[in-house]
Structure 1
Amino acid sequence: MATCRSMRRGAWRWPPAATPITSPFPASARRNMSMVAAVTETIIIRPATAADAADIAGMINAAFAPYLGRLKPGPSALKETAETIAPQLAPPGGGAVALCVDGTGRASAIAGTVLFKPEADDLYFGRLAVPQAQRGHGIAGALIRFVEDEARRRACAGIVLGVRIALPENQRLFVHHGFAEVSRHAHDGYPEPTWIRMRKRLTSG
C-alpha cells in the first residue's frame, strides 16, 4: 500500500464522486441563510477546483473576519486571494467545498470550504471556513469527514491541524471529531503560546 509520503511524490486523482451529506435544516435556520436563495435540504461535499479559487478566498475572508481584534496576531487567512488559493489546490495539495442543494437539485453558492496538504506521514488541513449564518448544521463536520476520507485514500497515518488558543469553541469542535492536543506553539514575536497543534490518528478500516 502506498504511504502518505510516497503518494505525495506522485500524481494523484480526486475521489471519483462527490460525497453527499444529508443535513435537513430547520425553518428558522433556512430563513437566516442569506447565501442560499432557495430552501436547502442537502449538503454536498465535492473536491475543489481552480475555478473555485475566487469563491473559496471570499468564503475564507468572510468566515475569518469576525476574529479581527480577538486574535493576536490577526488571522493570516484574511490575506488569502484567488491568486494564493489556486496553487494550494494543485496536487499534492487540494481542497473541498460544501454546496447547499435545494429540493429541485439545484446547487447554491459555496457554503463552506477547507484546504489540505500532505505533511510527512499525515494530511494537514486548514482554512476550514463556514459562514456564521450556516454554522451549527454539520457543514464543518462534513468537511472534516471529507478530509479524513481523503487521508485514508492516501494511506496517511493521521490528520493534523493548528487552532488558536483564543478560540476554545474551535478546539471543542475538533475534540468532538476525535482530535487531541499534541503541542503548543507561539507565533513569531510572541513570548507565550498562541496556537495548538492537534492530531487525529487514523486506524485501518
Structure 2
Amino acid sequence: MNPPLRLARPGEAPAIRAMVRAAYAHYVPLIGIEPLPMVDDYAARIAAGQAWVLEQDGQMAGLLVLEDTPEGLLLDNIAVAEAARGQGHGRAMIAFAEAEARRRGQPCLWLYTNEKMTENIALYTRLGFVELRREEKSGRHAVIMEKRL
C-alpha cells in the first residue's frame, strides 16, 4: 500500500526542487539539456495548488504536478526520490492523477516526455497512454501522450 498524497505546503519548494533535480539529473547527458521539471518554479506550483507530495516515513518520496487544461488534466511532472524508487510509487501517483482527473470531470489525463526517454514512453504505453504527436517544446523534443478516462 502506497502512502497518500497531499498538496505541497508553502516552504517546501526548495526540498521539492532538490528532489526533482536529483531525480532527473541522469537525463541531462541523454538529452543534452535539463528536462523542464528541473527548471520549473515550484513555489508558483505550490501557490497554484498544482504540486502534490508523497511522503514515506516522514520523508518526501515523490512529487506530482497536475494542471487543469482545456484538453484534460496535464500530468506535468512526476518524480520519485532515489531512496524511494522501485516501490511502486510512480504507478501509484499516476493512479492518483487518473482519479483526480475523473474527480475534476476531465476527459483525459495527458502528459509529455522527451522522445529520448524511451523507458518512460514504454511505461506510459503499458499504463494505457497513447501517443498523440511529437513536437518541439522549449528546445526539447516532446512526445505528447494521453489516456482517455
* Local SS of the residue matching 1:156: coil
Matched, 1:73 2:23: no
Q: How many residues align?
A: 149
* Local SS of the residue matching 1:172: helix
How much identity, in percent, do the aligned residues show?
A: 30
Matched, 1:196 2:146: no
Q: Deviation of residue 156 (structure 1)?
A: 0.3
- Range with bigger deviation, 112-121 or 48-57: 48-57
Instruction: Provide closer, same or farther for how the CA distance between residues 178 and 189 of structure 1 changes in structure 2, counting only shifts above 3 A.
Output: closer
Instruction: Provide closer, same or farther for how the CA distance between residues 189 and 135 of structure 1 changes in structure 2, counting only shifts above 3 A.
Output: closer
Amino acid paired to 2:6: R
Hey, what's the Cα distance between the residues in 2 that align with 1:128 and 1:198?
14
Runs (5+) with no aligned partner, structure 1 = 1-21, 24-42, 101-106
CA RMSD of aligned residues (A): 1.9
Question: Residue 90 of structure 1 is aligned with which of 29, 39, 47?
Answer: 47
CA offsets 1:143-202 (integer angstroms, 9 cap, x no match):
111111111111001011001111111112211221110001124567xxx220000101
Match of 1:167 in 2: 117
TM-score (norm 1): 0.66
Verify the 8 A CA contact 1:73 1:187 in the aligned structure 2: no
* Local SS of the residue matching 1:149: helix
Hey, what's the Cα distance between the residues in 1 that align with 2:71 and 2:136?
24
Instruction: Provide closer, same or farther for how the CA distance between residues 114 and 73 of structure 1 changes in structure 2, counting only shifts above 3 A.
Output: same
* Local SS of the residue matching 1:110: strand
* Local SS of the residue matching 1:50: coil
Q: Deviation of residue 72 (structure 1)?
A: 3.2
Question: Residue 143 of structure 1 is aligned with which of 93, 98, 103?
Answer: 93
Amino acid paired to 2:62: G
Hey, what's the Cα distance between the residues in 1 that align with 2:119 and 2:75?
18
TM-score (norm 2): 0.88
Q: Which has the larger radius of gyration?
A: 1
